[in-house]
Amino acid sequence: MSVGALREGAFRQLFLGQAISALGDRLVPVALAFAVLGLTGSVTDLGIVFAAQSIPLVGFVLLGGVWGDRLPRQRVMLASDGVRAIAQGVSAILLVTGRAQIWEIAGLQAIYGTAEAFFEPAAASVVPQTVDPSNLQHANALLGLSRNLAAVLGPALAGVLVATIGAGWGLAADAATFVASAAFLSLMHVTPVVVAARTNTLTELRAGWRAFRAHNWLWVTVLYFTLFVAFVFSPLEVLGPEVALDWLGGPGAWAAIGTALGLGALVGGLVGMRWRPSHPLRVSFISFLTGGPALYGLLACHAPLPLILAAALVDGASGTLFTVYWITAIQQEVAPAEQSRVNSWDYLGSLALQPIGFAITGPVAAVIGVSSTLYGAGALFVVLLVGALAVPSVRNFTFRPRPVGP
């Protein structure tokens, strides 16, 4: 495997910090879930804690985009790492010492989610400042590979920590990864971005919206994912475990499907390192057709697990391939001084309707059945893909060399 972008010192520091932090991020869902259930045994409390983390993330991400374009992105990321390290560290201390209460954990996770809202837009925009443009796609593929590897290893490591020394130590490990990430970020020397004169926050938000709307391929694809995440992906997340439990042999089957998705994502990342198709979004959306709808159909008809795993493997690969091309497209086609705000609109758009999707999946399945709901989600998957490909700016999108300068 070519080292490519890793030859560049600034990117190497970013990559190492993000790889460690990504592993910590994957510890949290398992460790936090068992920590809350260990305190009260209430899934309602668990939902409150997860909501406390996610609501500020969605609520503040646009403001995070503004600050990611106002300030040096490295400084924004360092501040966010520091806040998240403190939030998770205090949570860990409360849990390990047996003093934790639900309202404290929820409050600390709200602080965590707020800090993450400022980190994500800056992190997605800083990569072009760390590498030569010729290495940009390779850099994004490497970052994707590290996240996908963490997705495979993190839950397993969290399970070991929870089972042996307790859930609180999983959050302590996450806090430590933020400290490590901050240490690497502090060593990173990046090319500064020349920004426009600062105005008020509302004006800068509007400017970010105009930059987002200026690219048809950009807002159409974000709209696609707004609908996809809410009404295609959410039913899979809610109903997939039930299918595994009732028809595929139990929780182990759902874990195997998740592992197959993760392994496929690793393959997609490796392909994305080297393959630069003429029309990357067209290739990405067509690749979704090869595995995604089949996964829903196979789950709906309770197909043998090996067939489901094969579809999951392909689906995971196509998802990461898209991510590599998508992030690279934004970094190359959007002006550097506007990228954090554009990324924040992308992030918000992708998650905006997800709570609705989660909320309605159960009632819909209760009326028409689990299998029918999954078949419907798979059919909608195809309809949304065809709709996206019908838009010329998406179908014909091609990378262009980014102009020199801000």
Model pLDDT, residue 397 = 95
Closest by alpha carbon to 36, among 105, 113, 107, 99?
105
For 299, the 3-state DSSP assignment is helix
Please state, in angstroms and rounded to a whole number, the distance separating the CA atoms of residues 320 and 215.
Answer: 22
Which CATH number fits the domain 205-401, given the four candidates 1.10.3720.10, 3.40.50.150, 1.20.1250.20, 3.20.20.80?
Answer: 1.20.1250.20
Specify the CATH number of the domain 7-193: 1.20.1250.20
Model pLDDT, residue 207 = 85
Model pLDDT, residue 403 = 44
- Amino acid letter at 145? L
For 208, the 3-state DSSP assignment is helix
- State which residues of the chain have pLDDT below 70: 1-3, 43-44, 47, 193-199, 251, 400-406
Model pLDDT, residue 1 = 45
Determine if the pTM surpasses 0.85: no
Query: Own/partner pairs for 222-227, CB < 8 Å, 24+ apart?
Result: 222/345, 222/346, 222/349, 222/350, 223/349, 224/384, 224/385, 224/387, 224/388, 225/349, 225/350, 226/349, 226/350, 226/352, 226/353, 227/353, 227/380, 227/384
Cβ atoms of 182 and 85 closer than 8 Å? yes
Cβ atoms of 20 and 147 closer than 8 Å? no
Model pLDDT, residue 400 = 64
According to CATH, where is 1.20.1250.20 located in the chain? 7-193, 205-401
Cβ atoms of 204 and 341 closer than 8 Å? yes
Q: What is the pLDDT of residues 137-187, one digit of tens each?
A: 888 888 888 888 887 787 778 777 877 888 889 899 999 999 999 999 999
